[in-house]
């Protein structure tokens, strides 16, 4: 394995989690590159110490030991890897590709097969932890893939993850674990929104209700994190309503494929879809609460 300071890694997708992961790689001493269509994001990473940033990787792909994809969905993964100026055809055989978008197991297997045709090593490795954990290099990674892929990507995993679950060798297993996790995450947000909406209707101050729940047995990480946005009236997105329309769609598709009923996930999907349809799709996922009628919610003060 190359020494850390000779290990070249590119992060594709410099959003809230991708930027944190890329900066974690820089702090870990990895030679770090970034790909994003947003010029401001590229400039931010460059100023943080990236070797090179670009809208595509054509100028530096042949230098890379590893690629981390933190894009939104399977379509974006395919575009980055196999589209015009795609990375897959430019990377050296044996390069590790860590696919960390939330995608279906079927899409993970399809992408893995495409990478294998180019002699590339894939980890099906969704992540969790949000922007804060990404920035701290402490994401939770749910990974499946070959022992060779894990070995190749170990310096990258060490840089960005606080916990790595090595689920098994079969591509698709990591995606499935993340989908099950997203079932819980989406249902918790939806349930938290419902509870806070009921409190608003009953005339209970939302800051008081939030304080009670976060110090009692009904609390969850998602309630504590997301319902604070409701209390503050701040729906600046770190993860949007539309992300959960996508992710809970994957959950319900997985249930259908396995002929397994998922009544709570289906209800939560309907809530997020209603919020998106009402025009809240680009807001923080806690904005699912805005679809409840007859309540008054806090609004962030603007200067």
Tell me the catalytic residues. Answer: 178
DSSP 123: E
Secondary element (H or E) of residue 59: none
Distance CA 2, CA 273 (A): 47
Q: What sections of 161-234 are H helices per DSSP?
A: 173-201, 206-214, 221-232
Distance CA 160, CA 187 (A): 27
Secondary element (H or E) of residue 90: none
The 3-state DSSP class for residue 282 equals coil
> What tokens does 210 get?
């939030």
Burial pattern 34-59, b for ≥16 Cβ within 10 A else e, equals bbbeeeebbebbeeeebbbbbebbee
Distance CA 224, CA 13 (A): 27
Which is nearest to 238 in space by CA: 136, 160, 130, 140? Answer: 130
């Amino acid at each position: 394995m190359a020494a850390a300071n000779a290990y070249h890694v590119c992060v594709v997708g410099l959003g809230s989690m991708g930027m944190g992961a890329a900066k974690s790689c820089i702090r870990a001493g990895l030679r770090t590159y970034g790909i994003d269509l947003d010029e401001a994001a590229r400039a931010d990473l460059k100023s943080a110490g990236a070797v090179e940033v670009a809208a595509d990787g054509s100028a530096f792909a042949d230098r890379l030991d590893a690629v981390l994809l933190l894009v939104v969905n399977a379509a974006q993964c395919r575009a980055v890897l196999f589209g015009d100026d795609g990375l897959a055809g430019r990377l050296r055989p044996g390069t590790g590709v860590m696919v960390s978008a939330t995608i279906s197991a079927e899409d993970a297997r399809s992408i893995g097969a495409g990478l294998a045709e180019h002699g590339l090593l894939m980890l099906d490795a969704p992540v969790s932890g949000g922007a804060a954990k990404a920035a701290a290099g402490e994401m939770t990674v749910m990974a499946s893939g070959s022992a060779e892929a894990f070995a190749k990507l170990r310096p990258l995993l060490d840089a960005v993850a606080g916990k790595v679950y090595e689920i098994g060798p079969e591509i698709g297993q990591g995606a499935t674990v993340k989908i099950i996790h997203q079932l819980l995450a989406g249902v918790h947000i939806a349930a938290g929104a419902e509870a806070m909406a009921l409190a608003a209707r009953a005339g209970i101050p939302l800051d008081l209700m939030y304080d009670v729940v976060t110090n009692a047995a009904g609390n969850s990480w998602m309630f504590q994190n997301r319902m604070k946005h409701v209390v503050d009236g701040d729906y600046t997105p770190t993860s949007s309503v539309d992300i959960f329309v996508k992710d809970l769609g994957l959950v319900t598709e997985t249930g259908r494929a396995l002929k397994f009923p998922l009544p709570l996930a289906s209800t939560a999907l309907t809530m997020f879809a209603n919020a998106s349809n009402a025009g809240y799709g680009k807001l923080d996922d806690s904005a699912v609460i805005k679809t409840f009628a007859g309540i008054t919610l806090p609004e962030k003060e603007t200067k």
